[in-house]
Structure 1
Amino acid sequence: MGTEKTPSNLARVSGTAVFGAVGVAAGVGFAVLGALRRNRPIHSVGTVVPGRLIIDTPGTTGSALFDAAGETPLIARLSRSASWPVELPDIIGLAVRIPGGGHYGGEADLLFASTGTGRLTRYILQLRTSAGAGPLTTMFPLTGVEGNIVFRLDPEPHDHYQLSYSPNSGPWWGLGGISLEPSGEPSQRSNDPAGSDDPTLRFRPVANPPTGLSVPAWLRAVRAPAYGAARIAWHA
């Protein structure tokens, strides 16, 4: 017997199809931009540095990575979306990879971007002049035991960031922090040499969520084709 197509199921399938179409359209745009730049379509120039995830106030996210005290090594890439000169404001990005922090002991990837922190503004990108000029959030939610979860980083001196999370667009709860080795600001244009960047490093937030957390179906429908098309164009 087939699955009964109830109104709620039809709405869910239709919604996912719409988000999938958006993701395909975004993927085409990213592919064109990547082909023109011969590099990543966005955040094309960055600085890669090692660091540590420090959890000193365990949360209740449902992920062992954030719900137990301890320190875990990580790799971070600080970048600018448009990758134009550092004197101009841009959307700041901080991508984090935590080896062993994903499902079945694999990698966990989180992408942070410069946004606001309010119930609505946390989902809206903001232009900044530097990574230390304001907070960054994962913007797109992950799903945990408390519902949808957004993570947040607040910059502090000496390349340290306070880490917090918010379930279901509610208050922010502290977890600890992320500490990076001194890196400086990425200042090259998108077609300049990469400097301390790693051109082979690719973050996969859809395929590599932290252990205990998952990517909502609608978000997979948007991000998977967009990132897939961008990777294909870049490798070609």
Structure 2
Amino acid sequence: MRRNRPVHTVGTVVPGTLVIDAPGGTGSPLLDAAGERPLVARLSRAASWPVHLPDVIGVALRIPAAGPDGGPADLLFASTGTGRLTRYVLRFHLSATAGPLTTMFPLLGAGGHLVFRLDPEGPGRYRFSCSRNSGPWRGLGRVVLDVPAPERPPHRARGAEAAAGPDDAGLRFRPVAQPPAGLTVPVWLRAARAPAYGLARRVGRERA
């Protein structure tokens, strides 16, 4: 109906850095060696309601040359709980700094299923961690974003169309097709998500 992104319609695209300082034995070269990698992030709200209303918060990360065959790697985070079960349950927040976010759906890596997590430490700064097979969270490093100031629009903005900064209508994340190298999307999850992402991409091309 929206003829663009079905959810997370309005967002803010910013550059940033992924810092790995506690390599984690995940099976992905991106996450299993210490270092820094540039990235592009998009901060958004799922329903794109007015900013004074709570919404499901999204943070999408694209890391160049970290995915399959040397292409980009995409990780999508949403505001959720962090317990063994609640990490799979969406939560409503006012901003990307109001609470933790997880990838919610697992990726297959070394030793089993991996779910990744971001914990806000301040505007544009997040602790980055992972959990294997629903076990304890283990720190991997941090994500630092060059967010605009303020991070989100002032309360006088009435509509979700008032983004906190520049967006990029052509930027489309592909978490099913482009996980970090060394990690794979479970077959059941690929089957469930691919049709919806395919439809959204087709609608976007037709609109363009």
Would you call these one fold, judging by a TM-score over 0.5?
yes
> Which residue number corresponds to residue 202 of structure 1?
172
Q: Distance in 1 between matches of 2:46 and 2:86?
A: 18
Moved more, 176-185 or 193-202: 193-202
> Which residue number corresponds to residue 107 of structure 1?
72
Q: CA shift at 1:81, angstroms?
A: 0.2
Q: Secondary structure at the match of 1:94?
A: strand
Structure 2 residues without counterparts, runs of 5 or longer: none
Change (3 A) 1:53 1:195: closer
> Which residue number corresponds to residue 185 of structure 1?
152
1:160 and 2:129 correspond: no
Q: Distance in 1 between matches of 2:25 and 2:33?
A: 9
Q: Distance in 1 between matches of 2:188 and 2:20?
A: 30
1:143 and 2:108 correspond: yes
Q: Identity across aligned pairs (percent)?
A: 65
> Which residue number corresponds to residue 125 of structure 1?
90
Moved more, 223-232 or 167-176: 223-232
Q: CA shift at 1:191, angstroms?
A: 5.2
Instruction: Look at both structures and tell me which one has the larger radius of gyration over its CA atoms.
Output: 1
1:223 and 2:193 correspond: yes
Q: Distance in 1 between matches of 2:95 and 2:109?
A: 31
Change (3 A) 1:111 1:125: same
Match of 2:35 among 70, 78, 85: 70
Contact 1:165 1:174 in 2 (8 A): yes
Task: Report the TM-score, using the length of structure 1 for normalisation.
Answer: 0.82
Q: Secondary structure at the match of 2:97?
A: helix
| Structure with greater strand share of residues | 2
Q: Distance in 1 between matches of 2:169 and 2:123?
A: 26
Q: Secondary structure at the match of 1:37?
A: coil
Match of 1:48 among 13, 25, 40: 13
Task: Report the TM-score, using the length of structure 2 for normalisation.
Answer: 0.92
| CA deviations over 1:77-124 (Å, ceiling 9, x no partner) | 000000011100000000000001112211000000000000000000
Change (3 A) 1:116 1:193: closer
Contact 1:143 1:149 in 2 (8 A): yes
Moved more, 183-192 or 105-114: 183-192
Larger RCO (CA under 8 A, 6+ residues apart): 1
Q: Distance in 1 between matches of 2:89 and 2:11?
A: 22
| CA deviations over 1:140-169 (Å, ceiling 9, x no partner) | 000001100000000011411000000000
> Which residue number corresponds to residue 97 of structure 1?
62
Structure 1 residues without counterparts, runs of 5 or longer: 1-35
Contact 1:188 1:194 in 2 (8 A): no
Q: Secondary structure at the match of 2:114?
A: strand
| CA deviations over 1:20-68 (Å, ceiling 9, x no partner) | xxxxxxxxxxxxxxxx223211000000000000000110100010110
Aligned CA-pair RMSD: 1.6
Contact 2:152 2:164 in 1 (8 A): no
1:16-35 to structure 2, matched below 5 A, reads none
Q: Secondary structure at the match of 1:229?
A: helix
Contact 1:37 1:191 in 2 (8 A): no
